[in-house]
Amino acid sequence: MNEAFELFEKMPERNVVSWSTMVSGYSKAGDMQMARMLFDKMPTKNMVSWTILISGYAQKGLGQDAVSLYSLIEKSRLMLDSGAAVSILAACAESGLLGLGERVHSSIARTRLMHHADVSNALLDMYAKCGRVKKAYEVFERMAERDVVSWNCMLQGLAIHGHGDEALMLFSRMKQQGFKPDKFTLVAVLCACTHSGFIDEGLRYFNNMEKEYRIAPDIEHYGCVIDLLGRAGRLNEAIRLVDSMPMGPNAVIWGTLLGACRMHNAAELAKQVQDHMARFEEASEHGTCSVLSNIYAAAGDWVNVANVRLQMKSAGIQKPSGASFIEVGDKVHEFTVLDMSHPDSGEVYEMVDGLVQELRLFGDPSNDHHHTY
């Protein structure tokens, strides 16, 4: 970005496009302070420049900044166009900023934008990914026209939140209304079976993909079924499926299988899976080592636990602190293990300890060895 900025500074004339390009570049690079400084200096702003910065704030989890900037749009009575609405809603969907997404919905609810399929799909996707499945379904039912993307978004939303029965019923309705499923539809259907434990149904859909839907399974479909079998403890079948894949398994496939090994304490298989994962640069080395160490610990194999941790230490691998995120009042708060930097950490941990004490009163054995971090 330094070279781009130098070139930008030397330009004899700058227009809204060149300014917006620089704001976009710094936003994508994660330097929101520089992006905002350039945005504030822009002599003329258009909806694209506003959208770039708001989406950047949302994607970085800076909900208050995103909402404050969006409030300026409302005060200036600027009207969102379809591109702006879709971009901001997509950023809200990926970052979980439900509050801002609801503000956008309120702004466009009585406009012609709701008749645009891409806007309705983005709104539906935002509610689904933010966990408001009922609200997503309301948007879906009110759509004047639906396309395959609409059905896929709704199916995926139901699937990832464990509404398997509803997802499969919606899939049947989709076919009855004459919509042709695509590969993303089948990913959502298989995901629904995985998250709801519908093993036989999932295998049936997978095995009939080419015959019934003329869709050849790709790596995402294989990943769903491997996850399905792994969660059910059918690890040998999962391995056989990996071996039968026409395309080579990637790090995600092996990571899915490693997660199943952890779930079922399959230490011997986990070591084999880790050996395969070591070939992939994108595989998180600290992640695989940590999972393997946990599997050995669950099996009481303390010798191998020590070996793995020694291997991690000699390789300079450190397990990153676990983190939790929560949105309160349009601001995303982050809490990490052993971190007392949050200004309200004392009250937060006091409340957690109180909840733990109440759980103990109800006899929850999982909290007998609880520690507050």
DSSP of 254-298:
HHHHHHHHHHTT-HHHHHHHHHHHTT-TTS-HHHHHHHHHHHHHH
What pLDDT does residue 370 have? 45
- Measured CA distances, 214 to 128, 200, 206 (Å): 28, 21, 12
Closest CA to 100 of 73, 79, 121: 73
On whether the CB atoms of residues 67 and 99 are closer than 8 A, the answer is yes
What pLDDT does residue 368 have? 47
What pLDDT does residue 44 have? 84
What pLDDT does residue 71 have? 85
Q: What is the pTM of this model?
A: 0.73
- Number of Cβ within 10 Å of residue 60's Cβ equals 16
The parts of the chain modelled with pLDDT lower than 70 are: 280-345, 362-373
- Measured CA distances, 274 to 141, 176, 228, 251 (Å): 45, 44, 20, 10
What pLDDT does residue 343 have? 66
Which helix (H) or strand (E) covers residue 115, if one does? none
Pick the CATH number of 1-132 from 3.10.129.10, 1.25.40.10, 3.40.1160.10, 3.40.140.10: 1.25.40.10
Closest CA to 371 of 355, 350, 353, 354: 353
What pLDDT does residue 241 have? 95
* CA 152, 154, 156, 159 torsion-angle sign: negative
Give per-residue pLDDT as tens, 244-289: 999 989 888 988 888 888 888 887 888 888 778 777 664 445 455 5
Task: Report the SS3 class of residue 147.
Answer: coil
